[in-house]
Amino acid sequence: MNRNSAIQCLTDGAEIFDLVVIGGGATGLGVAVDAASRGHRVALIEQLDFAKGTSSRSTKLVHGGVRYLRQGNIPLVREALHERGLLYANAPHLVRDMRFVIPAYAFWETPFYGIGMKAYDLLAGKLNLAPSRMLGRRETIERLPTIETRGLRGGVLYHDGQFDDSRLAINLAQTAVEQGAVVANYVRAVGLIKEGGKLAGVEAEDAETGKQFLIRARTVVNATGVFVDQIRKRDEPSTKPVVTVSQGIHLVLPREFLPGDNALMIPKTADGRVLFIVPWHGELIAGTTDTPVPDVSLEPRALDEEKEFVLGHVAKYLARDPGPSDVRSIYAGLRPLVKRGNSGNTAVLSREHTILISASGLITVTGGKWTTYRKMAEDVVDRAESSGNLAKRPCRTPDLRIHGWTRNPDAEIAFQEYGADAAGIHSLIAGDASLGALLHPSLPHRRAEVVWHARNEMARTVEDVLARRTRALLLDSKASIQSAAEVASLLAGELGRPPQWEAEQVAFYRQLAAGYVFTP
């Protein structure tokens, strides 16, 4: 994960890659890992940072999708549960078994949800994490000690996966590099190369230097999430959009509102979704919404009605109602949903993925969700091979261990997400005790992590560190703002940046992070 060497490889123009992937989110990184592990020569470029968009703004669940089970989309649920099991095995340092409780307030709800979750278990097959079971009123309260008890009859316990989305993205980038891919962030695709009406690569620009160069490739994959239609229009100006965009928001609350190790699943909200309150990194994540939005943005913001929606539903199910002053952070993400029919309700659209191949050979993949990223990538590479541009080779990712794999997580909670790399961070601290200091009293992150991010994870900005290499921005937006100057100083030392760069980074980050502070 050395950006300088990656840029040098991309700009020298001496190589024709088998694939160039545009987009460094879950899908694009998955394609790079899959194709490189098959022995194809791969380049991946991301206009900003890995997982800058939707891929760092999820509910942090690796799951089959209870909502899709209720909609009767059995194939999607079965596929997602299978992929959940594979990811649990391939990235145990990031994916954990989480217990969820569905509270029941009507006499019919416990058996109804109990039967549904047994079907969920069966669809998971041999890869099921643990069996679900029905709970009495007393055990439901023991597992959810702050649940609203008035009218509570019991509940249902089931198991699903939880993960750290942007940490998985970084580990996928590292895995792709280990498999031979050339991966670079802050490289924009500014045009497409065509020869004889067929795509022959990408015109790219290094966002840090402004230098433009050509990346020649036999196949171009458009994996830009909510932005796929922009790339498609560069290929075919008359093409019609295929993606509709839905926004989901999440609130981060103190753990005291739901202590313990169990998550709460609210089975049906006013808009037909499910809503989760999930323990994560010592706090709680509550969400999400499903709001159609007309435009795409790199920094979407929660709408007032979305804030009220989540706080209102949380208040219905918890004995103590959280207020605006309790919210540690608020974040919004955009879902790329494939248009089907004329439905204006994005809550009824599924997360199945779609692969399109244009007349020039541009392969576009969109839709889907984090849980199924590996299968999406496998399908994309299969299509690339069948198009005739690439040699056909078997997929290796079902049992390919992801960078950081370990069954023995670090004793220090803040380092557990690094998996096997935690030893490297400890080594930095051993060599310089000052790197063991915390960035902020309210955050678990240490100065050594910033050094590690710069040297090994291609972190280039304060935002890269506080938003995605660590999750400080999401866990406590105000504390992350107060940490910005320290992070900028450490990065400047690692990247050789001048004092002016530090000041600009701090100012930019403070402005960005202000959008994550909850304002009623």
**The CATH number of the domain where 463 resides is what?**
1.10.8.870
DSSP state of 438: B
69 and 128 in a single domain? The answer is yes
Looking at the domain assignment, is residue 406 inside a domain? no
Mean pLDDT over residues 408-437, rounded?
Answer: 95
Mean pLDDT over residues 127-150, rounded?
Answer: 97
Closest CA to 411 of 427, 423, 398: 423
pLDDT at 485 over 60: yes
Mean pLDDT over residues 460-464, rounded?
Answer: 98
Domain boundary among the residues 347, 364, 389 is at 347
131 and 264 in a single domain? The answer is yes
> Using CA atoms, how far apart are residues 97 and 247, in angstroms rounded to an integer?
27
**Amino acid 264: pLDDT:** 98
pLDDT at 114 over 70: yes
**What is the sign of the dihedral through the CA atoms of 59, 61, 62 and 67?**
negative
**Amino acid 404: pLDDT:** 98
CATH number at residue 94: 3.30.9.10
Q: Counting Cβ atoms within 10 Å, is residue 359 exposed (0-12), middle (13-18) or buried (19+)?
A: exposed
Per-residue pLDDT tens over the stretch 343-369: 444 444 445 789 999 999 999 999 989
pLDDT at 342 over 50: no
The runs of H, that is alpha helices, within 226-338 are: 228-235, 304-317
Evaluate whether 17 touches 24 at the Cβ level (below 8 Å): no
Where are the strands (E) in 32-170, listed by range? 42-46, 61-62, 96-104, 133-136, 154-162
Evaluate whether 63 touches 88 at the Cβ level (below 8 Å): no
pLDDT at 100 over 90: yes
Per-residue pLDDT tens over the stretch 180-230: 999 999 999 999 999 999 999 999 999 999 999 999 999 999 999 999 999
**Amino acid 345: pLDDT:** 43
Per-residue pLDDT tens over the stretch 241-272: 999 999 999 999 999 999 999 999 998 887 77
pTM as predicted: 0.96
9 and 142 in a single domain? The answer is no
312 and 325 in a single domain? The answer is yes
**Amino acid 351: pLDDT:** 57
